[in-house]
Structure 1
Amino acid sequence: MMTDIRNATRAVDAATVMELLPARPRLLALGEPTHGEDALLDLRNELFRQLVEREGHRTIAIESDCVRGLIVDDYVTSGTGTLDDVMERGISHGWGASAANRELVRWMRAHNVRADAEGRPASERLRFVGFDGPLEITHAESPRRALTALHAYLADRVDTGLLPCAAGTLDRLLGGDDRWTEPAAMTDPSRSTGRSPEAARLRLLADDLMALLDQQTPHLLATGSRESWDRARLYGRTAVGLLRYHHSMADPSPARMTRLVGVRDQMMAHNLLALAERGPVLVHAQNAHLQRPKSSMRMGGVPLEWWSAGALVSARLGSGYAFLATALGTLGHQGVGTPAPDTVEGLLYAATEEDHCLVDAPRLAEALGDTRPAPRRSPWFGYAPLDPAQLAACDGIVFVKDVPESR
């Protein structure tokens, strides 16, 4: 069996990835089983470089705040701001401090600047995208930023009489942002403002603003740039998603947490589907956000199941979506030692000598035959092993044998 498993592995590079896939996808998703490991992010960066140089990719999307990501995109496309500033303000979840993320942004900016002073043509510039909602573990952001940006875009371009409300009405209904970002609301639905009369009115107004944006598309594209229209759509999706998320935060029912994780991945999926229009795109996030089968986790001892962004997007795009899961052998600095030999990770660990490799998942499943690998158990909550039952739902697996501590 070891020989058959070795025959299912190959080098991790853009050419072998494309050879592995049945069709050229608009969205190529690369998952990770844990966050914050520069070795995994370095591998992502190298794959993106190869996709840019050999396969014509121009965009990378990572699991970060979609609105804050515009700060990074402005930097890599036009040099707005400084690298230090955009890493602090443009990437959420604290991941702007990652050396690998910093190197990604630095390289993208350098790539976009040609030897002459003009820089690359707009059509050839690399683009950076955050595709997560403006959500953190401690709170969800106020919808103010996204909602007022959408309103301002429309107010500048359409007849005032078509607007569902004035900017002052939004400001009054939104109130103080601390109402929305109250940390206690994450665990206590009674502390959330998401089902207040003001929030209910804002949800209707957000829907009306999005409808107006859609109705006025021919005029907006004829009189302005597609770039500004795309941003307005992003603001609208974010405002609607945030208001829906806050509504679910105020839900006292047992389904509350399932709704919250579902809304988050739905927001991710909507952003990815919009990105698919400009593909091809490399997408990077936790495996659970990108897989095709239902995702699951335990939160506060309660089991949760929901359809991930990847599942939602795959259902819509079919072969236009491809998913490579990342699996790892050891993560010694987090107490994750050599995997048990009867797990998928253990079989790959014993069969491979390279630091990392690309595994043909269908061929691996064929090599295993009737052998059913055992699920791996992690001693550390921050690492999620590969579910062997989902092997057939992966287009490939990137296996990293030993993950060193981040620099």
Structure 2
Amino acid sequence: MSSTTPSLTDRLRRSNAFISVLAIFASFVVGGILIAITDEKTASSASYFFARPLDTLAAAWDAAASSYAAMFRGAVFNYDAGTFAAMIKPLTETLTYATPLLTASLGVAVAFRAGLFNIGAQGQIILGAIFATWIGFTLDLAWPVHLLIVVIGSILGGALWGGIVGWIKARTGAHEVILTIMLNYVALNLVGYLLSTPALQRPGSTNPVSPRMHESAMYPELLGPDFRLHAGFLVALAATAFVWWLMNRSTLGFEIKAVGSNHHAARTAGINTFKVTVLAMVIAGAMAGLAGAAQVNGTERFLTESVAASIGFDAITVALLGRSNPIGVFFASLLFGAFRAGGGAMQIATGTPIDIVLVVQSLIVLFIAAPPLVRSMFGLGQRKRKKPKAPVAVAATTGGGEK
């Protein structure tokens, strides 16, 4: 009698987390090959490959291994440093880079769960940063009241920008991709304009930068002045816990997932799809707005036109890698924060182009988007199920058979 319990291999085939790990591993392997191809020593030894092939293979391995080791030292732990503080500083830089990316990615993930492709995190970050900046240098309040109002302001700014998309989408059916792209451009040009007016431009400066934030509006440093890691990371952790609770324990989270799975069925079941669509984008914008506060009130201390950098678009990749699961998004944000922190160290130490990091990130997205490809690469293709044997029909005949 055969057991119906799936084997370990079957469970691995069905595990999204395991497929994601394999996708990351495959991306690093391909990245290592590209590093080896662009390495001068490897290219030199390849000229006599057929005479001494091991020289080429050893040079390729050294190039890839040294590059990834340099990335590790720049992103996780610098074992060559002389002090413990210097050893752990790379990890704190990874967490610092991951902080705004985490909250922005949570916003994208919430929208994904609602069936909305939110690529407007860039504009939502900018609006959150504008609100946070204006409150941060115009008000003169005591800490932590001032910081709390700044954080609330950034949430409101992002929520406003996301809510506009949600309302138009729910009211008119306009596609959210077009809406978010257009609002990204509006936000980018809006911050550029405001930074050239007395509203936000630093007095006496001709550059498009805002005044510095008051100290009472800044996130406190978690590990002292020698590290950039600030309390915004704790806020990001709290946001992760909130989104997990929202999506897995709340009625609204259930409705968001229902609308994302089947909009028409959800409406037939009595769910107010208009409300859910608007609220999903409001929450998505609010999470991205927190990223704006982390930028201007955590690391940069003032507003510039490039405040959002590439965070909004990286957030889409992180949300896809984390499969819109808050826990998965958290670890994916750490990974991309490590890429950001370690990429520069890798280039400085080994001369490896930092573009290799972007290639690895792109490959991760490619492999995540094609799970069957990853399964086939690692021999985890779906097993063919054995067809059950047809039952033998025994027909009773009047004159046949033994008695």
Report which of the two has the higher share of strand: 1
Shared topology, TM-score over 0.5? no
Q: What is the TM-score when the length of structure 1 is the normalising length?
A: 0.27
Q: Normalising by the residue count of structure 2, what TM-score does the alignment of the two structures yield?
A: 0.28
